Amino acid sequence: MSTIIDNIGLLVTPEAELANAAVLIDDGYIAWVGAAASAPAADDRIDAANGCVIPGFVDSHSHIVFAGDRADEFEARMAGRSYTAGGIRRTVALTRAATDEQLLANATRLIAEMRMQGTTTVEIKSGYGLTVDDESRSLALASTLTSETTYLGAHVVPVEYADDVAGYVDLVTGRMLEACAPHARWIDVFCEDGAFDVDQARAILTVGIARGLGARMHSGQLGESGGVRLAVELGAASVDHCTFLSDADVDALAAGTTVATLLPGVEFSTRQPYPDARLLIDAGVTVALACDCNPGSSYTTSMSFCMAVAVRDMGMTPAEALRAATAGGAAALRRDDVGEIAVGKRADLVILDAPSYVHLAYRPGVPLVGRVLSGNVADVRAMAPGAA
């Protein structure tokens, strides 16, 4: 079945922004893009009401399989307490105690929030279980919601291994990996002071790559380290946070294929300095934006909010922020079927109740997503959880 979306006031494509445009969707994929006056016939029609049509957001970094709430930590930070990664262990304890049904219900709720705000592709990490069984079940649950699942057994060292970090690394690269790999596409590691050092991160990612998983990394959140350059060296698809970077880090990213994924919700919630997106873009680095939805440092599911912060505080233009939240996220997941409105791409589209995508930053916090379409042209908010 074919569907034409017409009466589009502004259509954002990789090549140009088209006024008075239309898009033809056939069997879940984009079949034609052009001027509305030249639109081909179709079986069905959607009227965009002169709104702006953009690609569905690609949120390439989330931690939504968890239990509990850490609003008290946010309140304390707003009163002046500094952020550390120690609160992760609090969520670990709550997640271990939760049932599968509770974890899935919470994650499904957050997916619904994302979809209503225009996200059509999302990555989900484990990392709040940190035992073989809890990491495996977290990924099994996540895989019912998305195909982009990431094994993050190396989030932090759990309390029971506080005096045996090497033993925990052995577990992460051994029995835990074998239990989790069937449910994961990616492997990730938090390479920071208080988590895992560069040598440990290298060992973890190298074994995961050998097991057939793609590499990702958290680094540069709390300070400079060698993690960013390690990610580039190992060919990681993305290195995430990148708040604190050396000149050597920027040079490495510019020369490599690793995407720098920036997570402005974290800096908003922790009052740390924002990453310098302008520096990275001017250096030729591919930049993505993602929500990093988690209960401790960035409890948001709104990609448009992250875009607004990136425009106001990180040196990005609205066009750059939109591209980072769509095509940039696709690059961070090494996906060539999403993130752009072009012939042959999946029909993941957002119709805005606004004349331009600039309004996503210009009118922060306002619900401007009028309709979300994904693949089969059904409203995303009405789709089954496994359809993303």
pLDDT of residue 86: 65
- The pLDDT of residue 385 is above 90: no
pLDDT of residue 125: 98
Same domain for 158 and 236, yes or no, is yes
- Domain end point (choices 313, 332, 351): 332
Given a contact cutoff of 8 angstroms between Cβ atoms, the answer to whether 369 and 50 are in contact is no
pLDDT of residue 87: 86
Same domain for 363 and 254, yes or no, is no
Domain CATH for 378: 2.30.40.10
Least confident of 22-31, 68-77, 250-259, 316-325: 68-77
Same domain for 74 and 84, yes or no, is yes
pLDDT of residue 85: 58
The dihedral sign for the CA sequence 15, 256, 63, 306: negative
For the chain, the average pLDDT equals 95
Please list, residue by residue across 329-356, b when 16 or more beta carbons sit within 10 angstroms of its beta carbon and e when fewer do. Answer: bbbbbebeebbbbeeebbbbbbbbebeb
- The pLDDT of residue 321 is above 80: yes
Please list, residue by residue across 285-316, b when 16 or more beta carbons sit within 10 angstroms of its beta carbon and e when fewer do. Answer: bbbbbbbbbbbbbbbbbbbbbbbbbbbeebbb
Same domain for 232 and 375, yes or no, is no
- Domain end point (choices 309, 332, 355): 332
Same domain for 51 and 69, yes or no, is no
The runs of H, that is alpha helices, within the chain are: 71-78, 88-97, 100-116, 132-142, 165-173, 175-180, 198-210, 227-233, 247-255, 264-270, 277-282, 303-313, 318-325, 327-332, 359-362
Q: What DSSP character marks residue 378? A: E
Same domain for 241 and 134, yes or no, is yes
Same domain for 128 and 94, yes or no, is yes
Same domain for 317 and 169, yes or no, is yes
pLDDT of residue 387: 37
CA distance from start to end of the chain: 20
Same domain for 238 and 161, yes or no, is yes
> Which run of H or E residues covers position 350?
strand 348-352
- The pLDDT of residue 123 is above 60: yes
Same domain for 297 and 175, yes or no, is yes
Ramachandran region, residue 295 (left: φ > 0; alpha: ψ -120 to 50; beta: rest): alpha
- The pLDDT of residue 118 is above 80: yes
> How would residue 375 be classed by pLDDT, with cut points 50, 70 and 90?
confident
Instruction: Count CA atoms closer than 13 A to 274's CA, side-chain side.
Output: 20
> How would residue 122 be classed by pLDDT, with cut points 50, 70 and 90?
very high
Which residues have CB under 8 Å from 244's CB, separation 6+? 220, 221, 222, 223, 224, 273
Q: Count structural domains, the chain.
A: 2
- The pLDDT of residue 383 is above 50: no
Instruction: Calculate mean pLDDT across residues 77-96.
Output: 86
- Domain end point (choices 293, 312, 332): 332
Report percent pLDDT > 90 for the chain. 93
- The pLDDT of residue 48 is above 70: yes
Same domain for 14 and 127, yes or no, is no
pTM for this prediction: 0.95
Same domain for 40 and 62, yes or no, is no
Q: What is the pLDDT of residues 250-309, one digit of tens each?
A: 999 999 999 999 999 999 999 999 999 999 999 999 999 999 999 999 999 999 999 999
Residue ranges making up the domain that contains 42: 2-55+340-387
Kindly list the distances between the CA atom of residue 190 and the CA atoms of 30, 185, 193, 197, 341, in Å, as whole numbers in the listed order: 37, 17, 9, 9, 33
Domain CATH for 99: 3.20.20.140
Q: How far is 352 from 386, CA to CA, in rounded Å? A: 25
pLDDT of residue 386: 38
Given a contact cutoff of 8 angstroms between Cβ atoms, the answer to whether 217 and 191 are in contact is yes
Instruction: Calculate mean pLDDT across residues 199-213.
Output: 98
pLDDT of residue 84: 63
- The pLDDT of residue 381 is above 60: no
